[in-house]
Amino acid sequence: MDETTRGNVWVFIEQEAGSVANVSLELVCKGRELADRLGVRLEAVLLGNGVSGICDSLFSYGCDKVILCEDPALEPFTVLPFAKIIMRLIQERHPNILLFGATFKGRELAPRVASEKLAGLTADCTDLKIDDFEDKRNNKSYTDKLMQIRPAFGGNIIATIVNTWDDPQMVTVRPGVMKLGTPDPNRHGEIERIQANLDPTDLVIQVIERVRADKEVDLQAAQIIVAGGYGVGSKENFSLIRDLAQAIGGEVGASRAAVDAGWIDHDHQIGQTGVTVRPRLYIACGISGAIQHRAGMAESKKIIAINTDPGAPIFSCAHYGIVGDLNVVIPQMIKAFKAKH
Amino acid sequence: MGYRILVFVKQVPDTQNITGDAMTPEGTVNRAALPAIFNPEDLNALELALELKDRYDAEVIVATMGMPAAAEVLRQSLYRGADRAVLITDRALAGADTLATSYTLHCCVKALGNIDLVLCGRQAIDGDTAQVGPQIAEKLKWPQICYVEEVRSLENGRITAKRTIEGGYEVLSSPLPCLLTVVDANSPRPMHARRIMKYKRAATASELQKRDPENADAAIAALAADGLLIEERNAASLGADPGRIGFPGSPTKVKQVMSVVLTAGEVKQVPATEAGIGELMHELISDHTLG
């Protein structure tokens, strides 16, 4: 191994049936920024079977190299073989930073790897940057460490965490929070194929049945979102939210309260336990704006809040506030939009 | 021979009801300032264990790591149907991150011995990391099934469980011993009136010590005779390496903590009238927000 294999920034690439997860591309963009800041290479770790078609896209978003492992035992995803291969790569090559998406797969895989490596791991980060760290308690200072920024304590605080032990510095990052850059189709890189070399002990978990469908809604890609909360009042009345979304060409979102009430499917939930979005326009209808909800939408470019309670916290992150009854306001919005459009 | 099922539970501050003095100046959580509750998904894990006990011959042991006051979640577990409760408490465990916590809890699994299944809630509402379960499994070199909704079967040395995945579900089969993390997919049973009558006196030795130092020995002996003494373990009695627990065993340090304050930004008040709404929609169309 020459020196350029050590100390790099790595992104674990998540894929389903050969199609790359959005969060992985977001992490490639963030990883490029971190690698440039540190003067190291950005490498992707891609595991699966029949997934090499993803590599060009990874290069176009900024990867210098893809470490590719294809093996029939890696489809569908199970945690033990993935953890085994990543652990072996870490021990051979000592990356400085390793990024995972905070998805179902990432959140069960990353802790398994961190535990074996005895590495620190910070979950669900919403921002990452490079900075120095003064550990006053132990009187030690560290330079160029990864600042791992995450909401904690139910979203009531934002903590900056630093991993003070040996490499790698590992984090999972929430989907939708890192900006997706513009791909450059002329950018190319190197593919290194490696062997899986698995033992029977890595394959003890059997997948008996697997049922999945792509989500019907893609809130993270939506430029306009109309979201309803508990103030909508009933399942029937949620049609108002759908009507407005349809009229102005948006997707339908919801707060946890509306999902818990059974008015709309969990796929539509925005916030700490749902998805994080940053659309061009977010219209919050009858949403009080608990911190858990605001955590998932406060970065939207323009926010309109409609609520009967002028003291609702949602107004504190809104750009436009309408104190009024959504049953009256929404039809007026639809009418006004159609008249002017 | 019956299965031995260990459920790890946690007493957590109720993060839905945060008050001003909830954070210390060092940026750690002042747990004393908040109401303490049974971590919600740990109740789902306990319920799953009790359902397995209803279906199979099984013993359900509940353990928690925390302050002496965390004995309360153990009593609540006994009220619901757990057979045995263990409190892991030690000042040396303070400041543990998920790596140090999972090391300590894996020591507990080993110390109890012959455990077939470990169940944990998917995540705790104070940290929301979901890391401790998989890390315990790795430390034990056991397989794990995360995000379990229900157990389909427990037979021939294997467990078959249905779990949530992105956009659907999977049914996985794993050999025992195995660790499961459990999601909010069952309805935890209420506390049982007769069990409350029986176990309300259950306490740890240090609770009795605190209540009445002079007569503690007699009280401890009396509770033990009635089978109501909640076991207490410290780091040494779990055989834990002092360098791998608490603050020294935690690679992650908190650099800074900031409260999320509601910044009163510039909110443009739009009158809820036809004219007001019309003007707003016009503005959004003109600046190409709507399109």
CA distance A215 to B274: 36
CA distance A159 to B258: 6
Question: How do beta strands B252-259 and A302-307 pair?
Answer: unpaired
CA distance A234 to A257: 11
**pLDDT at residue A152, rounded to an integer:** 82
Q: How far is A323 from chain B (nearest CA, A)?
A: 6
Same-domain pairing of A174 and A280? no
**pLDDT at residue A1, rounded to an integer:** 47
* Range of the structural domain that residue A282 is part of: 219-340
What pairs with residue A303 in β-bridges? A282
Same-domain pairing of A96 and A42? yes
**Percent residues over pLDDT 70 in chain A:** 99
Same-domain pairing of A191 and A245? no
Q: Would the pLDDT of B27 be above 90?
A: no
Determine the residue type at A288.
S
Same-domain pairing of A224 and A134? no
**pLDDT at residue B162, rounded to an integer:** 98
Nearest CA in chain A to B168: A212
Domains in chain B: ranges and CATH: 3-244 (3.40.50.620)
Nearest CA in chain B to A248: B290
Across the beta sheet with B117-121, the strand order is: A206-212, B168-175, B158-165, B144-155, B178-182, B117-121, B3-9, B58-65, B84-88, B229-233, B203-204
| Residue to test with chain A: of B266, B284, B287, most A Cβ within 10 A | B284
- Mean pLDDT score, A59-64: 98
Average pLDDT, chain B: 92
CA distance B166 to A104: 6
Put simply, the answer to whether B169 touches A154 (Cβ < 8 Å) is no
Q: Would the pLDDT of B219 be above 80?
A: yes
CA distance A205 to A81: 10
**pLDDT at residue A130, rounded to an integer:** 97
The partner residue sitting opposite A160, judged by closest CB among B134, B256, B277, is: B256
Contact (CB, 8 A) for B5 and B148: no
Contacts A213 to B, Cβ<8 Å: 167-168
The CATH code of the domain that includes A333 is 3.40.50.1220
Contacts A204 to B, Cβ<8 Å: 143, 174-175
pTM of the prediction?
Answer: 0.88
Contact (CB, 8 A) for B80 and B192: yes
Question: Domain boundary at A203, A235, A259, which?
Answer: A203
Put simply, the answer to whether A111 touches B135 (Cβ < 8 Å) is yes
- Mean pLDDT score, A198-220: 91
The partner residue sitting opposite B270, judged by closest CB among A121, A321, A341, is: A321
Put simply, the answer to whether A215 touches B167 (Cβ < 8 Å) is yes
Put simply, the answer to whether B175 touches A151 (Cβ < 8 Å) is no
Put simply, the answer to whether B126 touches A154 (Cβ < 8 Å) is yes
Residue A305 lies in a domain: yes
Q: Look at the block and give the residue holding tokens 């809104």.
A: A318
Same-domain pairing of A191 and A57? yes
**pLDDT at residue B28, rounded to an integer:** 57
- Mean pLDDT score, A234-258: 94
Higher local confidence (pLDDT), B24 or B104: B104
**pLDDT at residue A67, rounded to an integer:** 98
241-300 in A: which are within 8 Å (CB) of B? 248-249, 272, 280-281, 291
CA distance B236 to B224: 22
Same-domain pairing of A240 and A297? yes
Same-domain pairing of A134 and A241? no
B95-117 residue pLDDT tens: 999 999 999 999 999 999 999 99
Higher local confidence (pLDDT), B283 or A3: B283
CA distance A321 to A278: 18
Q: B13: cis peptide before it, omega within 30°?
A: no
Q: Would the pLDDT of B60 be above 70?
A: yes
Same-domain pairing of A150 and A30? yes
Put simply, the answer to whether B127 touches A123 (Cβ < 8 Å) is yes
Contact (CB, 8 A) for A192 and A66: yes
- Mean pLDDT score, B53-61: 96
B116-152 residue pLDDT tens: 999 999 999 988 899 999 999 999 999 999 999 999 9
Q: How confident is the model at residue A138 (pLDDT cuts 50, 70, 90)?
A: confident
A271-322 residue pLDDT tens: 987 889 989 999 999 999 988 899 899 889 999 999 999 999 999 899 999 9
Same-domain pairing of A143 and A19? yes
Contacts B137 to A, Cβ<8 Å: 112
Provide DSSP, B258-288: EE-------PEE--SSHHHHHHHHHHHHHTT
Residue A213 lies in a domain: no
Same-domain pairing of A117 and A246? no
**pLDDT at residue A230, rounded to an integer:** 95
Domain count within chain A: 2
Question: Domain boundary at A203, A238, A268, which?
Answer: A203
Average pLDDT, chain A: 93
Put simply, the answer to whether A103 touches B263 (Cβ < 8 Å) is no
Put simply, the answer to whether A161 touches B137 (Cβ < 8 Å) is no
The partner residue sitting opposite B281, judged by closest CB among A120, A160, A337, is: A337
The CATH code of the domain that includes A141 is 3.40.50.620
Same-domain pairing of A65 and A177? yes
Nearest CA in chain A to B269: A321
Question: Domain boundary at A152, A174, A203, which?
Answer: A203
Put simply, the answer to whether A321 touches B125 (Cβ < 8 Å) is no
* Range of lowest pLDDT (A150-154, A318-322, B182-186): A150-154
Q: Would the pLDDT of A260 be above 70?
A: yes
